[in-house]
């Protein structure tokens, strides 16, 4: 986030370029912040896919979280779809983490290992 001085010095309002990115102040069409964040996320991974079960904040309903998959966001969607079909449940992708409804750790571990990922069970 830009400092207060940088925010005050910037252009107040302009319709010349349309909507601008709040991070880099470039027009949305020219903004590369999302790509840079995705590259930073991929660089921080250690190559191990972690499976964990979580119920916190879900009114007791459990979900299986798949973290650390070394794929970009557009490649993550087909993988999530295939895993959800394999388990026969629903799910979502949030911030590079795949959520699969229910406790599906054993099924997902076998499927991911068949796809040549190094898998580790983590958490409760």
Tokens 């001085």: give the residue: 5
**Angle separating helix axes 105-114 and 73-87, nearest 10 degrees:** 120
Determine the pLDDT at residue 56: 83
37, 42, 91: which is closest to 66 by C-alpha?
91
Determine the pLDDT at residue 58: 77
Determine the pLDDT at residue 34: 83
Determine the pLDDT at residue 111: 92
Determine the pLDDT at residue 85: 93
Please tell me the distance from the alpha carbon of residue 58 to that of residue 53, in angstroms, as a whole number: 12
Q: Mean pLDDT in runs of 10 for the chain (124 residues)?
A: 71 70 83 86 85 84 90 90 93 91 91 92 77
Q: In this structure, what token pair is assigned to residue 51?
A: 């499976």
pTM for the predicted model, two decimal places: 0.73
Determine the pLDDT at residue 2: 67
Determine the pLDDT at residue 83: 93
Please tell me the distance from the alpha carbon of residue 27 to that of residue 78, in angstroms, as a whole number: 30
- Direct distance between the N- and C-terminal alpha carbons of the chain, in angstroms, rounded to an integer: 36
Please tell me the distance from the alpha carbon of residue 76 to that of residue 99, in angstroms, as a whole number: 12
Determine the pLDDT at residue 114: 93
Determine the pLDDT at residue 43: 83
């Amino acid at each position: 986030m830009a400092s207060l001085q940088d925010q005050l010095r910037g252009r107040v309002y302009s319709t010349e370029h349309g909507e601008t990115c709040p991070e880099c102040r470039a027009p949305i069409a020219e903004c590369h912040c999302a790509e840079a964040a995705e590259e930073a996320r991929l660089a921080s991974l250690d190559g191990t896919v972690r499976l964990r079960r979580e119920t916190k904040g879900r009114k007791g309903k459990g979900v299986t979280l798949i973290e650390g998959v070394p794929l970009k966001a557009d490649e993550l969607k087909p993988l999530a779809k295939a895993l959800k079909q394999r388990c026969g449940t629903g799910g979502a992708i949030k911030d590079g983490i795949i959520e699969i409804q229910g406790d599906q750790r054993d099924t997902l571990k076998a499927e991911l290992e068949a796809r040549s990922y190094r898998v580790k069970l983590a958490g409760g």
